[in-house]
Structure 1
């Protein structure tokens, strides 16, 4: 029987695999808004978190 669930790694792009120029940043202890992807990555790294693309 074939597994219909995709591997979690393939489900969402994370960190440097995000290929859009801007992202909407949401989360605890962060000012929500639209950020250049590089700045959002920097913020995530400072907080020791991953940046995850939910809806491309």
Structure 2
């Protein structure tokens, strides 16, 4: 599982680990009073995402 590997090639276990990491990131940001980008919420829910423009 790399950032260059298409998400459709990820195994179910890899998808669960990525979603869990996204949920943890959301919790940390919310506790700190920081904004949570929508793309992180989408990853946590398993929705398809695109790279945010600031990371292109």
Q: TM-score, normalised by structure 1?
A: 0.31
Larger relative contact order, structure 1 or 2 (CA cutoff 8 Å, min sep 6)? 1
**Which structure carries more helix by proportion?**
2
Which of the pair has more CA radius of gyration?
Answer: 1
**Which structure carries more strand by proportion?**
1
